[in-house]
Amino acid sequence: MICNKLQLCVNSQLYEKTPPECTNHNKSFCIESSDKRPSVKCVEKKKKYILENTMRNHIISYKMDGGIIAVDKYVPEGTNKCDYLYVINNSESIAILTELKGVNVSKALKQISDTLFLFKDFFKKFSHVYGRAIVTSSTPD
């Protein structure tokens, strides 16, 4: 399933409104955190990325793979999707697509690009959209 209420969910998290009824299997699989903590961490298979929040902006951390995008009869196995999405409420709206990888940088970039395409209408509303491929096992070429 690909969540079709991501924009509503973001708005409810940022503006403390009642969240929309979740069409995904379980909202707790999607939202990792939603607050103004000084650092926001994502971890997968012993790989870790920490986003420093020195400005203390409200940041929502979404689990994309297995949360916002879950393999089911509508989403085939092997669909490229990144690991995490950070939505930063700043004077400008910022989104950061994050993929944690051991070595395969080209695969990480493909996953970020395909996630961006899946949610192209959602990302049009942001001032800035960034992709981050976090390579942890080696130095990429």
Q: What is the pLDDT of residues 12-25, one digit of tens each?
A: 888 777 666 666 65
Give the model's pLDDT for residue 6. Answer: 85
pTM, entire model: 0.87
Q: Which amino acid is at 53?
A: N
Residue 5 · residue 17 · CB < 8 Å? no
pLDDT value at position 69? 86
Give the tens place of pLDDT for each residue, 88-132.
998 889 999 999 988 888 999 999 999 999 899 999 999 999 999
pLDDT at 76 over 90: no
pLDDT at residue 26, as a whole number? 54
What is the pLDDT averaged over residues 80-94?
Answer: 92
Report the distance separating Cα 86 and Cα 117, nearest Å: 16
Side chain identity, residue 134: I
Segment 50-74 shows an average pLDDT of: 89
Residues 23-59 have pLDDT tens digits of: 665 555 788 898 999 999 988 888 889 999 999 999 9
